[in-house]
């Protein structure tokens, strides 16, 4: 195995200089000229109501106002996996904050002033804010038309109810297994709503020019998917995909919240009524909280059966998800998490019901972890309890039951190569598992908590990535792809892959930000899959370019291609050490032969990657038979938690996390994901706390009262561990890790609290207040 | 983020001009110093002044002077200036510790002590400190200058003893005659910046004299007289401490809101009182913990 | 009532007409071509709008533009004009930023810190940047870079 020169090294990020100097441009930094119009949205004050009338006459009179629109101007239903969402509310509103009308004006003040003058008459309808309530027989039905909605074949909505999707997994015979088990334990866990809190709020600018082309600049993880959804949503206008252009500059954080289409549709729709004028819709921080995707809330009723020796024989998991009123994306969270809601364990008998329920809270959708953070809170809390109840060490229990390569997962497909045991062992060692620690402070106790995790990219079976790679006269390279640099370091990783194949140093490689006119297709930058998928496409493009390079050298110099190799930006020959041809000499201009004619021309690499083994064709009653997930990334995490018994305050003394990256193409970037993901996960369990009033209004849509981590909240010590069990079909063995780093945080904290205090808290967040009051009230369990 | 509400902006050069404007506009005027409170409220529509009076051009309001045992903190003195001041740290350590707990660097470079006291939000961090040090609020109005003892200053949530046409030119604090130690402990939801869910300030003065004040657990910051009476003249033994903690429930009236429950606030008020008292006594003796150390 | 204000911006005298209710952040971005201070919360909670006003880090979303008549403002563009500062070099070396949206505010706050306190402890660094929210990095790479830059001072 040759030593890799670029892959596996922590190069400086390609975009770091842009960001450090302030050169990096985000959508709101772009100037659109004096024709720019500003939009202000009129929002619903009710969780569920019929719209009786909208009077825009007063609003239209405000100086500076160009147009006022309402739902009837855009009677379009759309969505990623199901068409259940509206550009503007039509006959009714379904959550507080839903867009009902919009004002377009020459300046933001006029827009805001006019928006307040739009008069909407509502007739309130009964509403439901909790998924369990929404499942009851007498619950108000939020989508009476559910039967008529288009959806992907792997969604199973139940018309006549509030069930947007029901994923059933049935393997083996759980009832028999429970009856025969030595020990069975069941309990319920609750996870509330959470918000992504990207520092850059959502924003979209759209222009419908006089020739009928639409150009959109948005802060998005998914330019091509956005283009596709815009085309679908505006199908009545008959605009071809080629006439919709989505351009994405740098994005200030995504975390899943900028996947698919949320508020961006508004700019596009509004642009169509003011031809020739760019329209900007910039979300406030408050709107960011209540009118973009939130993370679903979950009630998980989980039952596990084990043998005396700790072998898990059966698992039943009933998952009830609160998805808000529009589940076009969120139902896939329910689907993906449902298929894998066993956790990374080998379990022969499995019963999972993962039910996506409509409610009148804001819409929920993709968030880092895609449902796995939520399900793992329940699963990993439960597994630790089961282990302790049968007198087994929780880490030993996990080692014993950890899923291994080749084991069938819940839906029958085989588990990929993985370093789960190695991750467990390394984390346990680093955190000195088994060694009880005492605090010097008599008020404090120290507990340790452990959790393992897995996740597979949740994607349709035919998602793909494509890459072009072109040289310039000086031998530098442009890689043209539509993956999105949302901070994870994707650009740098693509450059490192190309550098390795073509021997061109990183400093001579650019990776271009997406423009759907010019950059080839990428499904979305989600699912932690672009390192793998787009990395493969870039690798193929680089190999394609290399093949062309060798071909032209062969034609010009008659050297056998098998003897050629690339090193230091030159073509060299194993059988002729004298032969050294610099790439820059011919990658544009070709090679001149002995008779003065030329061979070659511009070297242009092309690569496409689409998995050919995935399928969602399965039995809808059991989920057996399909192969919906490409592979799983696994890992383990542990925390050493110091708790003040008087105040309930918890401080992380040490957080350790191991993730199996297959091959860490840039170890620095993997560590960055561990640091960032862990802290984000710890925040969800320790202090992020979304509050609603009794009508479903978000009470804390700001950082004053929804607390995300500051530099003061960093754990005393974080130890990132990279495990590398190669992914056979990954570029250089790599697989994705970015979402995963968040997943173990919540359960490992809950487990540490139990270890320290003997108190089991079964709902999130596990705040200082909850802990302190539990101690005061002498509770052993908190619902 | 656009503000629709329109107002006139004034930047007077003297206190007399400010007084004139405030008298003319009455409730329709708002004084602007750091703006970290006012600007948010105007954005949210909670304040709709017709006149915004920017006092940052008035030199005398920048006065930050320690003379003959009296500290004068002008209306424009920011929390960071208080933190950077050796005089404040040495002589009024609880005010120093409270200032350190306010928001973040970028806010403290603008937010003023006087502005905080004028906002009179129930959770104001400066509340307990100024009550403990029994400061005086120096006010100028149409009928001249007057000094309002801080114990008469806070009247309710966002309500002070300021009358129409008056502005606060500064706060004066006198060094205590005897040596003292103190502490300000603030309850937040995590370790980053937060508004106090409970604030406890304590002085332990040579000769077993104590002063105790709370904020964020009632409509205004208060001195806890009952607790002070229990502690007065006594050594801080276990039983004295317990008696003091038991009296907390009679001194405060916390509510449940999205930040914390009544139960947790009540409980933490006791715990924080205990820790603040212990730290104050220890510091009086010249021992740690250093001011600014996290006590919860 | 529009008023013309004049102030020094990144070393150059600039003039612009503003209404009293115009927010400084929006005027810098919309009328003066300065794009690095960002809108992210509008309430002074996140630090993305941080600028240096008369040498001190402040939240430009909490300042009416009209207040800065006669003042001196420095943004990240001003810092980067003549080449990178040692702090910026350190950020690059440490791959400090991921999405980069917090970088301008964070850099100005850290610049102020190192001017005031050339050799801060780790605790002092954390306290100083506690008002600049970063959702991506977990702060580790940022803190390391600041400490490293301070060692080289």
What is the distance between the alpha carbons of residues A57 and A133, in angstroms, rounded to a whole number? 40
Tell me which residue in A109, A646, A709 faces B271 most closely, judged by beta carbons: A646
- How confident is residue A226, by pLDDT bands cut at 50, 70 and 90? very high
Q: pLDDT grade, residue A403 (50/70/90)? A: very high
Model confidence at B1, pLDDT cuts 50, 70, 90, reads confident
Instruction: Measure B7 CA to nearest chain A CA, in Å.
Output: 14
Q: What is the number of domains present in chain C?
A: 2
- Phi, psi (5° rounding) for residue A635? 180, 180
Q: Does B264 sit within 8 Å of A773, measured CB to CB?
A: yes
C53 CB neighbours in chain B (<8 A) are 109
pLDDT digits (tens, 9 = 90+) for A331-359: 999 999 999 999 999 999 999 999 999 99
Cα separation values, C52 from A43, A675, B77, B86, C101, Å:
36, 29, 18, 25, 17
Domain extent for C23 = 3-77
Mean pLDDT of C77-83: 91
CB burial of residue A34 (10 Å; 0-12, 13-18, 19+): exposed
List domains and CATH numbers for chain A. 16-24+463-609 (3.30.365.10), 32-125+218-255 (3.90.1170.50), 294-459+617-782 (3.30.365.10)
**C71 and C100 inside one domain:** no
Verify that C96 and C144 share a domain, yes or no.
yes
Residues C43 and C91 occupy one common structural domain: no
Q: Are residues C94 and C66 in the same domain?
A: no
The shortest CB-CB distance from A687 to any of B189, B195, B264 is to B189
Say what the pLDDT of residue A392 is: 98
**Model-level ipTM above the cut of 0.95:** yes
**What pLDDT score does A1 carry?**
55
Which residues of chain C make contact with B2, given a CB cutoff of 8 A? 23, 26
Report the DSSP pairing between strands C50-53 and C72-74.
Answer: antiparallel
A104-121 as b/e, with b when 16 or more CB fall inside 10 Å?
bbbbbbbbbbbbebbebe
- Residue B282 CB-density burial (10 A; 0-12 exposed, 13-18 middle, 19+ buried): middle
pLDDT at residue A76, rounded to an integer: 86
Looking at the structure, do residues C25 and C56 belong to the same domain, yes or no? yes
pLDDT at position A531, please? 97
Mean pLDDT of B91-114: 98
Model pLDDT, residue B70: 98
pLDDT (tens digit per residue) in A669-711: 999 999 999 999 999 999 999 999 999 999 999 999 999 999 9
3-state per-residue secondary structure call for chain C? CCEEEEEEECCEEEEEEECCCCEHHHHHHHHCCCCCCCCCCCCCCCCCCEEEECCEEEEHHHCEHHHHCCCEEECHHHHHCCCCCHHHHHHHHCCCCCCCCCHHHHHHHHHHHHHHCCCCCHHHHHHHHCCCCCCCCCCHHHHHHHHHHHHHC
Chain B CB contacts of A689 below 8 Å: 189
The distance of C124 to chain A (nearest Cα, Å) reads 10
Look at residues C77, C104, C138 and tell me which one is the last residue of a structural domain. Answer: C77
Distance to chain A for C123, nearest Cα, Å: 8
In a shared domain, residues C72 and C97? no
Distance CA A543, CA A545 (A): 5
Q: At what angle do helices A667-686 and A745-757 cross, to 10 degrees?
A: 50
Tell me how far apart the alpha carbons of residues A678 and A659 are, in angstroms, rounded to a whole number: 12
Q: The domain spanning residue C128 has which CATH number? A: 1.10.150.120
Question: Do C110 and C92 fall within a single domain?
Answer: yes
**Residue C70's CATH number:** 3.10.20.30
Q: Among A13, A17, A20, A196, pick the best mutation site for testing chain C contact (most C Cβ within 10 A).
A: A20
Neighbours of chain B (3+ CB pairs under 8 A): A, C
Residue where a domain stops, chosen among C55, C77, C99: C77
Residue A726: pLDDT band (50, 70, 90) is very high
CB contact under 8 A, C62 and B36: yes
Question: Alpha helices, DSSP H only, in A245-320?
Answer: 264-271, 285-290
Domain boundary among C77, C110, C126: C77
Are C100 and C61 members of one domain?
no
Contact yes or no for C44 and B40 at CB 8 A: yes
3-state secondary structure of A51: strand
pLDDT digits (tens, 9 = 90+) for A613-664: 999 888 999 999 999 999 999 999 999 999 999 999 999 999 999 999 999 9
Residue A769 near chain B (CB below 8 Å): yes
Q: Is the pTM of this model over 0.90?
A: yes
Put simply, the answer to whether A711 touches C100 (Cβ < 8 Å) is no
Q: Quick one: C13 and C69 in the same domain?
A: yes
Residue C66 sits in the same domain as residue C106: no
Other C-beta atoms closer than 10 Å to the C-beta of A662 total: 30
Average pLDDT along chain B: 97
Q: Are residues C46 and C66 in the same domain?
A: yes
DSSP code of residue A488:
S
Q: Which residue of B has its CA nearest to A113?
A: B4
Between A284, A691, A710, which is nearest B192 by CB?
A710
- Residue whose pair of structure tokens reads 């729709």 in the numeric block: A269
Q: What digits encode the pLDDT tens for the residues A291-315?
A: 999 999 999 999 999 999 999 999 9
Name, in order, each residue with C-beta under 8 angstroms of A689's C-beta and a sequence gap of 6 or more.
A192, A700, A706, A707, A765, A767, B189
pLDDT single digits (tens) A91-148:
999 999 999 999 999 999 999 999 999 999 999 999 999 999 999 999 999 999 999 9
- A469 pLDDT higher than 90: yes
Residues C7 and C66 in one domain: yes
């Amino acid at each position: 195995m040759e030593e890799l020169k670029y892959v596996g090294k922590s190069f400086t990020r390609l975009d770091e200089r842009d960001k450090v100097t302030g050169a990096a441009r985000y959508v709101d930094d772009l100037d659109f000229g004096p024709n720019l119009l500003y939009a202000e949205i009129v929002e619903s004050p009710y969780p569920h109501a019929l719209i009786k009338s909208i009077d825009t006459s007063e609003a239209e009179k405000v100086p500076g106002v160009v147009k006022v629109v309402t739902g009837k101007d855009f009677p379009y239903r759309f969505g990623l996996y199901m068409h259940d969402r509206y550009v503007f509310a039509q006959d009714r509103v379904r959550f507080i904050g839903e867009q009902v009308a919009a004002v377009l004006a020459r300046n933001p003040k006029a827009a805001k002033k006019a928006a307040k003058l739009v008069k909407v008459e509502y007739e309130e309808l009964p509403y439901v804010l909790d998924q369990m309530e929404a499942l009851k027989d007498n619950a108000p039905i939020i989508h009476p038309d559910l039967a008529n909605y288009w959806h992907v074949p792997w969604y199973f909505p139940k018309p006549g109810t509030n069930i947007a999707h029901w994923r059933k997994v049935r393997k083996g015979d759980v009832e028999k297994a429970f009856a025969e088990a030595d020990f069975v334990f069941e309990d319920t866990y609750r996870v509330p709503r959470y918000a992504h809190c990207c520092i850059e709020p959502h924003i979209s600018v759209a222009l419908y020019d006089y020739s009928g082309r639409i150009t959109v600049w948005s802060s998005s993880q998914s330019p091509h998917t956005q283009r596709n959804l815009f085309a679908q949503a505006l199908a009545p206008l008959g605009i071809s995909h080629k006439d919709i252009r989505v351009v994405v500059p740098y994005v200030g954080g995504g975390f899943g919240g900028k996947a698919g289409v949320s508020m961006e549709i508004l700019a596009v729709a509004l642009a169509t009524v003011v031809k020739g004028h760019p329209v900007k819709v910039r979300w406030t921080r408050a709107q960011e909280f209540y009118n973009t995707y939130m993370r679903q809330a979950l009630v998980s009723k989980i039952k596990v059966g084990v043998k005396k020796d700790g072998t898990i024989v059966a698992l039943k998991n009933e998952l009830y998800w609160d998805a808000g009123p529009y589940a076009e994306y969120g139902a896939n969270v329910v689907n993906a998490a449902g298929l894998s809601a066993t956790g990374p364990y080998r379990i022969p008998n499995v019963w999972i019901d993962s039910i996506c329920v409509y409610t009148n809270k804001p819409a929920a959708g993709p968030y880092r972890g895609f449902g796995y953070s939520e399900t793992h809170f329940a699963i990993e809390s439960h597994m630790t309890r089961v282990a302790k109840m049968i007198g087994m060490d929780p880490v030993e229990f996990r080692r014993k039951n950890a899923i291994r390569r080749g084991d069938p997962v819940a839906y029958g497909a085989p588990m990929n190569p993985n370093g789960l045991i190695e991750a467990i062992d390394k984390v346990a060692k680093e955190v000195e598992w088994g060694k009880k620690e005492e605090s010097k402070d008599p008020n404090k106790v120290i507990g340790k908590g452990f959790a393992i995790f897995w996740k597979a990219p949740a994607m349709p079976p035919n998602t793909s990535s494509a890459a072009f790679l072109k040289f310039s006269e000086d031998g530098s390279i442009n890689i043209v792809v539509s993956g999105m640099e949302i901070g994870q370091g994707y650009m740098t990783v693509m450059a490192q892959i190309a550098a390795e194949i073509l021997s061109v140093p990183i400093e001579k490689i650019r990776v271009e930000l997406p423009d759907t006119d010019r950059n080839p297709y990428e499904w979305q930058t989600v699912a932690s899959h672009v390192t793998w998928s787009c990395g493969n496409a870039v690798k193929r493009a680089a190999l394609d370019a290399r093949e062309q390079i060798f071909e032209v050298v062969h034609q010009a110099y008659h050297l056998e291609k098998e003897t050629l190799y690339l090193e230091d930006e030159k073509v060299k020959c194993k059988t002729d050490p004298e032969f050294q041809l610099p790439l820059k000499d011919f990658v544009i201009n070709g090679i001149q032969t002995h008779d003065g004619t030329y061979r070659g021309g511009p070297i242009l690499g092309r690569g496409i990657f689409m998995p050919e083994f995935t399928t969602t064709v399965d039995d809808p009653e059991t989920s057996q038979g399909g192969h919906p997930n490409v592979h799983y990334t696994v890992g383990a995490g542990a925390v050493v938690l110091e708790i003040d018994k008087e105040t309930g305050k918890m401080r992380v003394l040490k957080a350790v996390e191991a993730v199996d990256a297959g091959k860490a193409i840039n170890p620095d970037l993997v560590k960055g994901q561990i640091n960032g993901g862990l802290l984000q996960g710890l925040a969800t369990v320790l202090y992020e706390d979304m509050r609603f009033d009794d009508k479903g209004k978000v009470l804390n849509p700001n950082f004053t009262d929804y607390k995300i981590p500051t530099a003061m909240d960093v754990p005393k010590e974080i130890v990132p561990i990279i495990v590398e069990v190669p992914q056979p079909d990954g570029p250089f063995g790599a697989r994705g890790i970015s979402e995963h780093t968040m997943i173990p945080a919540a359960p490992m904290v809950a487990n540490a609290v139990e270890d320290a205090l003997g108190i089991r808290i079964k709902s999130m967040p596990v705040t200082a207040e909850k802990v302190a009051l539990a101690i005061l009230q002498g509770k052993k369990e908190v619902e | 983020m656009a503000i629709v509400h329109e107002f006139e902006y004034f930047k007077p050069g003297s206190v007399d001009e400010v007084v004139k404007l405030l008298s003319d506009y009455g409730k329709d005027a708002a004084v602007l110093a750091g703006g970290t409170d006012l600007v948010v409220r105007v954005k949210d529509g909670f304040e709709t002044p017709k006149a915004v009076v920017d006092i940052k051009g008035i030199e005398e309001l920048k006065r930050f002077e320690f003379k003959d045992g009296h500290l004068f903190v002008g209306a424009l003195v920011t929390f960071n200036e208080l933190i950077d001041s050796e005089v404040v740290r040495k002589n009024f350590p609880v005010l120093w510790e409270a200032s350190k707990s306010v928001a973040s660097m970028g806010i403290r470079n603008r937010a003023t002590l006087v502005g905080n006291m004028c906002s009179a939000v129930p959770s104001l961090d400066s509340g307990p400190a100024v009550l403990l040090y029994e400061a005086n609020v120096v006010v100028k109005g149409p009928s001249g200058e007057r000094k309002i003892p801080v114990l008469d200053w806070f009247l309710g949530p966002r309500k002070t003893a300021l009358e129409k046409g008056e502005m606060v030119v500064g706060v004066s604090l006198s060094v205590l005659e005897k040596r003292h130690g103190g502490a300000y402990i603030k309850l937040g939801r995590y370790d980053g910046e937060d508004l106090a869910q409970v604030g406890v300030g304590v002085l332990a003065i040579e000769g077993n004299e104590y002063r105790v004040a709370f904020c964020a657990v009632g409509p205004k910051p208060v001195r806890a007289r009952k607790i002070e009476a229990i502690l007065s003249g006594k050594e801080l033994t276990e039983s004295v401490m317990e008696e003091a903690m038991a009296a907390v429930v009679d001194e405060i009236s916390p509510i449940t809101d999205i930040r914390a429950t009544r139960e947790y606030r009540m409980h933490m008020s006791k715990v924080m009182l205990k820790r603040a008292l212990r730290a104050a006594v220890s510091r009086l003796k010249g021992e740690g913990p250093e001011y600014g150390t996290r006590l919860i | 009532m529009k008023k013309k204000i004049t102030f020094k911006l990144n070393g150059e005298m600039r003039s612009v007409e503003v209404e009293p209710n115009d927010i400084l952040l929006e005027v810098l971005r919309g009328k003066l071509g300065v794009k690095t201070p960002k809108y992210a919360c509008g309430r002074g909670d996140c630090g993305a709008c941080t600028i240096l006003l008369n040498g001190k880090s402040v939240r430009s979303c909490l300042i009416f533009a009209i207040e800065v008549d006669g003042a001196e403002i420095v943004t990240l563009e001003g810092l980067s004009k003549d080449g990178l500062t040692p702090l910026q070099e350190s950020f690059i070396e440490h791959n400090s930023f991921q999405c980069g949206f917090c970088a301008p505010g964070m850099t100005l706050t850290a610049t102020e810190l190192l001017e005031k306190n050339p050799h801060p402890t780790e605790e002092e660094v954390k306290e100083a940047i506690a008002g600049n929210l970063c959702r991506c990095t977990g702060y580790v790479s940022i803190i390391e870079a600041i400490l490293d830059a301070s060692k080289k001072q």
